[in-house]
Amino acid sequence: MVNMPLAHDLLWGMTPAQLPVDAPQWAVESLRVGQPVVVRRAMSADGFVAVGVRGVLREQRLAAFMAVDSIACRVSPEALCHVDSDRDVPALRALERLRPMLDDCGWVWGVSGSAGFELASGFAAMHEGSDLDLILRTPHLLARNQARELVALFDQAACRVDMQLQTPFGAVALREWAGPSARVLLKNAHQACLVADPWNVQEQAA
C-alpha cells in the first residue's frame, strides 16, 4: 500500500466504534471530541494501522488499531517543525531555540510527543515539566561523535530534549547512540533488539 503511515504520524478519522469493547471512557471521549491518534510501532492486520489513543493524564494511553480507510487526515512530525503556538512552556521555548540549528543540520527532523500532538491538534498536551520529543530521519549513518554534539546542545535547552534517530531498520535513542555502550536498542514493528550498527541490518542480534 502506498504512503502507509509511519511511526509518530498523527491520524484523524478514527471513531469510538473502532475501539475495543472494553476501552476506557476517557479514550472514547478523546475520539469523540476529534483528537488524533498517533501511529505506534507494532504489527497490524492488512487494512489496519497500529495506533495509540491519548488521554488527558500521562498514564492514559491505549493501544488500538485504526482502519486505514478511516484516515481522514495525516500529519507527520516533520510537518510540525515551524508551527507556531502562543503557549509559553519550556518545551516550546526549547524548540524555538533549537529550530535554526536543526534546520541547518542537513537531516530531515520533526516534532513528536506531547509537543507534536499539541502543535498539530490544538488540544493542550504540554505542561511545565514536559520533555521536548524530536525525531531525526537518518537514512545514513550519523556518527557517534555527531550524536554526542547534539546531546551536548540539547542539554543546554530549557527542558529535557529526547530525540529518536529513524534509521531504515527502526529507531534508536540519540542519547543511547551517543553513549559508551557497544550495542544499542533498535526498535521496529517486529521487535526490539541490541545492535552494534543501527544502519546495518546484518549487525542485528537479539
Give catalytic residues, as residue numbers.
Answer: 131, 133
DSSP assignment of the chain: -TT---TT-EEE---GGGS-TT--HHHHHHHHTT--EEE-S----TTEEEEEEE-SSTT-EEEEEEEGGG--EEE-GGGGTT---S---HHHHHHHHHHHHHHTSSSEEEEEHHHHHHHHH------TT--EEEEEE-SS---HHHHHHHHHHHTTSSS-EEEEEEETTEEEEHHHHTSS-SSEEEE-SS-EEEES-TT-GGGEE-
